[in-house]
Amino acid sequence: MLKINIIEWLGYIASILVAVSLMMRSIVKLRVINTVGAICFTGYGFAIQAMPVAFINLFIIFVNSYYLYIYIKDKK
């Protein structure tokens, strides 16, 4: 029987979210979904003690957040 623990599920969900984000036509949707995927990947990276995975995804969260902030600020 196939047994997948919660940490593996987190990694799969993160992968799917990042892949789906790259299919978005809207840059805002892309950045929002990609940020959620990066949050999941950050948790996954820390859970499996893979610091490069965790830290690069923390960086991606900050980059996406910065550009979302700029987009929202310019829209007003």
**24: containing domain:** 7-75
Confidence (pLDDT) at 24: 97
- Going by the DSSP 8-state scheme, the letter that residue 8 receives in this structure is H
Looking at the 3D structure of the chain, how many domains does it have? 1
Confidence (pLDDT) at 75: 84
Domain presence at residue 2: no
Confidence (pLDDT) at 72: 92
Domain presence at residue 1: no
How confident is the model over 40-70, as pLDDT tens digits?
999 999 999 999 999 999 999 999 999 999 9
Domain presence at residue 24: yes
Domain presence at residue 53: yes
Domain presence at residue 35: yes
Domain presence at residue 20: yes
Distance between CA 54 and CA 43 in Å, rounded?
Answer: 7
